[in-house]
Structure 1
């Protein structure tokens, strides 16, 4: 087979794999992992189930590929708008995180809770996305991704709170996203102020113009 034919076959395989992952994201959004068999997946996708094994080796491999794709989108959305001023980027990062959670609730819950049971591979994916989000916040706040341990611990504590607040917000479906975003940004501001007290190398960033406070009605 010529190199051009090989490239064409590889591109078609990548496209097909991406299509299957897109189908998986929709399936796992509406149905639990245990409730879906490979036969179910193949039927929904309109393919022979052998293709699932060909591209992903197993149902679990397929599930992990779907989660990894979801994580990549979450990180990309949260880390966008790099050309903006630092303070505004922090706000956009938080809003991007919430926007993703609002529109991909099943995938978000899987990412932050660790998947099916105690799945070490999904746990590793979750830990990786946490580290990337912390680095994204640090870059927006301080202009660098590497920060001292005390600062990292403080941001990890803030992010853990963000995860739980977001899960509760999704369950209650109120208040609106803008109000939750304003709350989380202000909590982050308090965290950054505390970090500055412990770490002189991480001074508190200058305040950004924030939207007017939105009443947090319940």
Structure 2
């Protein structure tokens, strides 16, 4: 069994991941130079390849790192009713987006559609975060219909949030209430095909 990474190694790896957010978010993928990132981060030129194997491996690991951060941020507070749980998660998501650099937001809305593997990583992390919320709402084993409809809501939610970040002309609380109502309507529609969906309208 290999030795666990030292604190210094973890610190260097995390510094590279943070630097990767800036690099891949601010620069087209083909123009990103790993040697430049290493120099700016103060690590040996070959260390990114030691940790991540290749430029592509580095890029995918940056996406996974963002996903881990998001899952931690979007943990549902205990003891809340369904509507309050959704609002708390949406508020935390807004706060996280606002407090992070433009490069990260550009990376999240970057052209991943042309990169199937990156899209798989991104979608898996988004669904993991949503699964936490669904479990808290009592929908621990969503069927195919539920997953399709909720994934559509996630895509809309992310797009609305990014548009709001660009131009916050509508009060944030109104945007959150709109997103809660839309998810509630989806649950109402799904409820026609079976029981077990939370009512968000009176929370």
TM bucket (normalised to shorter chain) is: 0.7 to 0.9
Q: Equivalent residue for 1:95?
A: 91
Q: Equivalent residue for 1:134?
A: 130
Q: Greater relative contact order (Cα 8 A, min sep 6): structure 1 or 2?
A: 2
Q: 1:203 to 1:87 in 2, by over 3 A?
A: closer
Structure 1 CA distance, aligned partners of 2:198 and 2:171? Answer: 32
1:34 aligned counterpart, secondary structure: helix
Name which of 61, 67, 74 aligns with 1:78. Answer: 74
Q: Equivalent residue for 1:69?
A: 65
Q: 1:64 to 1:10 in 2, by over 3 A?
A: same
Which consecutive unaligned segments of at least 5 residues does structure 1 have?
209-218
Structure 2 CA distance, aligned partners of 1:195 and 1:74? Answer: 27
> TM (normalized to structure 2)?
0.82
Report the CA distance between 1:205 and its aligned residue: 4.9
Structure 1 CA distance, aligned partners of 2:28 and 2:10? Answer: 26
Structure 2 CA distance, aligned partners of 1:201 and 1:27? Answer: 44
Q: Deviations over 1:182-212 (max 9, x none)?
A: 221122222222222232233535621xxxx
After the TM superposition, which segments of 4 or more aligned residues of structure 1 sit over 4 Å from their partners? Answer: none
2:129 aligned with 1:170: no
Q: Is the contact made by 1:114 and 1:126 (CA closer than 8 Å) also made in structure 2?
A: no
Name which of 127, 133, 148 aligns with 2:143. Answer: 148
1:76 aligned counterpart, secondary structure: helix
Name which of 29, 40, 55 aligns with 1:59. Answer: 55
Q: 1:26 to 1:83 in 2, by over 3 A?
A: farther
1:135 aligned counterpart, secondary structure: helix
Q: Equivalent residue for 1:186?
A: 181
Structure 1 CA distance, aligned partners of 2:124 and 2:78? Answer: 21
Q: 1:24 to 1:48 in 2, by over 3 A?
A: same
Which consecutive unaligned segments of at least 5 residues does structure 2 have?
none
Name which of 176, 180, 190 aligns with 1:195. Answer: 190
Radius of gyration: which is bigger?
A: 1
Structure 2 CA distance, aligned partners of 1:63 and 1:139? Answer: 30
Mean alpha-carbon deviation: is it higher for 167-176 or for 43-52? 167-176
> TM (normalized to structure 1)?
0.77
